[in-house]
Amino acid sequence: MVFRCELKKVVDDTYDIEIGHGLQEKLVADLKAGLTGRRRFAVITDSTVEGLYAKDIFEMIKAAGFGAEMFVIPAGEKSKSRQMKEFLEDSMLEKGFRRDCAVIAVGGGVVTDLAGFVAGTFGRGVPFVNYATTLLAAADASVGGKTAVDTPLATNLIGMFNQPEKVYLDIDTWKTLPEEQIASGLAETIKHGCLGDRELFEYLEENVEKIFAGDVAACEYIAEHNCAVKYKVVMQDERESGLREVLNLGHTVGRAIETVSDYRLLHGEAVAIGTVAQARLGEKYGFVTEEERARVEALLERAKLPVRIPDYIDKAALVKKLYTDKKVRDGKLRFVFEKGIGEVVQFGENCFAKEIAENEIAEIIAQM
């Protein structure tokens, strides 16, 4: 006999991204007004952000009468690991955290990706809030609900889709970012321009230096446009069945080179190199003109990003690493390509990635 479990329901994961300056007090006011519905908070941050912003936020939350503990992971991409997830879980359990808590992530993409994953499986899911302190987190991690850790064999392959209760993009925090971190965030921003927002791309061609100078209007412009591009894509395909793959532009080579570099390359730097590889291969296929490809490279360079593969990278290892990409199907490499600037190439119904022979991309890599 067959017993049917009918489990159809409406899920509403709607949330707000608040973009502004110095949003610490707003966060605490929101928690007081019932954001997350919890009264005990695990503030998760890293060793860099702790002293800059997280400790203040943690103290403000306690001063508001809530229960709170702060948990600090070492800064850097290597913390995005199962071991660090376990460390946070054990630390939270030890401090008596159970299902009646919420997580407040304060930091960049590593912190928000990891803390969102911790929240998603702690007590089978507790609410979480992201307080993003980097341009990269603003560009990449704030929309889409992707959380994950890396493993020795693959980046971002262990994780879940988990939407926060709210995201704060505090543009003031970008002032304390080292230049290479601003550049890293710009890589994802330029990628967003390439794949879905020609206006954003051209705005950056006019104004990229203003971001480094901390120009308020320019920073707000890119924060908002990053959200809008990503949201437009994600809203149509939350689970990455097709369209969402376009966000992976530049990430096939990017993710692989990030790992092969053993994280000497920042995520954005790796994506910049991957975006160039994509544009060069795309030029061969006629998806972009030589002039468009040159504009992409030029903008990345003005954003102080690498557009060539560093000498210390083992190119054979890099090609092999491409096969750990999540777009791989039936053992075949698949790439997303921009179509000119501001659009992507569509290869079929709901299909935005093209199968590529290994030697085609190996040739591009050899030339870079």
Binding-site residue positions: 109-113, 133-134, 146, 173-176, 188, 251, 267
Give residues 18-47 in contact with its own copies (rule: CB under 8 A). 18-20
Interface with its own copies includes 206 (CB under 8 A)? no
Nearer Cβ to its own copies (59/237): 237
Q: Which of 36, 41, 98, 30 has the alpha carbon at shortest distance from 71?
A: 41
- Distance set, CA 91 to CA 76, 146, 198, 307 (Å): 20, 23, 46, 41
Give residues 133-172 in contact with its own copies (rule: CB under 8 A). 143, 145-146, 148, 151-154, 157-161, 163
Nearer Cβ to its own copies (11/213): 11
CA 274, 276, 278 angle in degrees (round to 5)?
70
Segment interacting with its own copies, rule: CB under 8 A, options 102-110, 279-287, 302-310, 322-330: 322-330
Cβ(300)–Cβ(275) below 8 Å: yes
Interface with its own copies includes 94 (CB under 8 A)? yes
Interface with its own copies includes 76 (CB under 8 A)? no
DSSP single-letter state for residue 38: -
| CA-atom Rg of the chain in angstroms | 20
First-to-final CA distance of the chain: 61
Cβ contacts of residue 47 below 8 Å, gap of 6+?
Answer: 72, 73, 74, 75
Calpha distance 25→271 (Å, rounded):
34
Interface with its own copies includes 87 (CB under 8 A)? no
Interface with its own copies includes 3 (CB under 8 A)? yes
CB of 34 to its own copies, least distance (A): 16
Calpha distance 352→94 (Å, rounded):
46
Interface with its own copies includes 298 (CB under 8 A)? no
Of the candidate residues 16, 25, 215, 314, the single one contacting its own copies (CB under 8 A)? 16
The residues of the shown chain that bind its own copies, judged by CB under 8 A, are 1-20, 82, 86, 89-90, 93-94, 96, 98-100, 117, 120-125, 143, 145-146, 148, 151-154, 157-161, 163, 220, 224, 227-228, 231, 234-235, 238-240, 323-324, 326, 328-331
